[in-house]
Amino acid sequence: MNPHQAETKIKRTANALAINTKVSVLAPGTVANLVCGFDILGMCLNEPNDLMEITLLDEKKVIIHSADGYPLPTDPAQNTAGAPLVEMINELDTPRGFEITIHKHIKPGSGIGSSAASAAGAVVAANHLLGNVFSKRDLVRFAMFGEKVASGVKHADNVAPCIYGGITLIRSIHPLDIISIPCPSLYVTIVHPQIEVRTKDARQILRKEVLLKDAIRQWGNIAGLVAGFMQGDLDLIGRSLEDVIIEPVRSILIPGFDEVKYRCKEEGALGGGISGSGPSIFMLSRDENTAIKVEKVMQEIYNRIGLEYHTHVTTINTTGVKILQD
């Protein structure tokens, strides 16, 4: 379907020849916004990942289990993995349901796509069990219902890269128009200070109006960042990792943010900023050695502040949710 046309919902029939009854997937973390691309840019990570096990049922229901005791909602309508599956089931013309067990390794409220991992992992796994009757764009459309559960808003900047892999641009939500952006091999260093910043709360503090001069500067940065990725121009990527609208407001919620960003760039990072709505901070680097130096800077700062944290040094995941076994 042409993405510029209105969305249409077509009843789908599961492919009986391709049906398996159970599958496990790794659902990866993601970095949304990529500094200047609020709600329109996202990047998939190789680490961390949630592990999800999904079983196909012959009746129209969704059952949810937490494998590690994490208090996940069991009502599908209130669960970030369950809500997308309810929408998917409603578009099938045969009675199908799913039982999900979630090993939650991406902490909710971390800013690295915990809700998106649950939503994307669920729909990719379910689609696999149905014989891949839905397109990737359909899967993003379903997964956005999980994001609405988490934040009150249907956005795709986390679920799209989680499903497509790599870096994605969400040109439009209505109709849904997703563009995969080629990018150079980069290393990603992330620090997750052990505080929680809820996406819903982080959205509420944003300004409702933006000065024209700030909007123009932001548009230039977004265009420069996309061009830098496509051309493999690392210097342009670094210059474009600037946010004059969202970051100045949200960064006040993250202890040590300004120092982390300044000192990591001094250590050789191309740049970075808030991952999603925070509190995680990400930095992009040309090579692994620089990424490790950046990690040590992050650790030093939070050790001095006295705030517990987790760090990750990883790379860009180009494939998205990974099917582990049938």
Active site residues per annotation: 147, 199
Read off the tokens for 250: 């949200």
Q: How many of the other CB atoms lie within 10 Å of CB of 58?
A: 9
Phi–psi pair at 249, nearest 5 degrees: -85, -50
The residues near 117 (Cβ < 8 Å, ≥ 6 apart) are 27, 28, 29, 30, 49, 50, 106, 162
Q: What angle do CA 261, 226, 289 make, to 5 degrees?
A: 45
Q: What is the H or E stretch that residue 11 is in? A: none
CA distances for 186 relative to 26, 46, 196, angstroms: 21, 12, 27
Strand 187-193 vs strand 167-172: parallel, antiparallel, or unpaired?
unpaired
Burial class (CB in 10 A: 0-12, 13-18, 19+), 283: buried
CA 26 to CA 306: how far, in whole Å? 33
Sign of the Cα torsion 318, 321, 325, 326 reads negative
Distance CA 242, CA 229 (A): 15
Tokens at 214, concatenated: 């700030």
Q: Record the tokens describing residue 140, joined without a space.
A: 């993003």
| Nearest one of 73, 71, 94 to 83, comparing CA atoms | 73
The helix or strand, by DSSP H or E, that contains position 7, with its residue range, turns out to be: none
Residue 203 CB partners (closer than 8 Å, separation 6+)? 151, 152, 153, 277
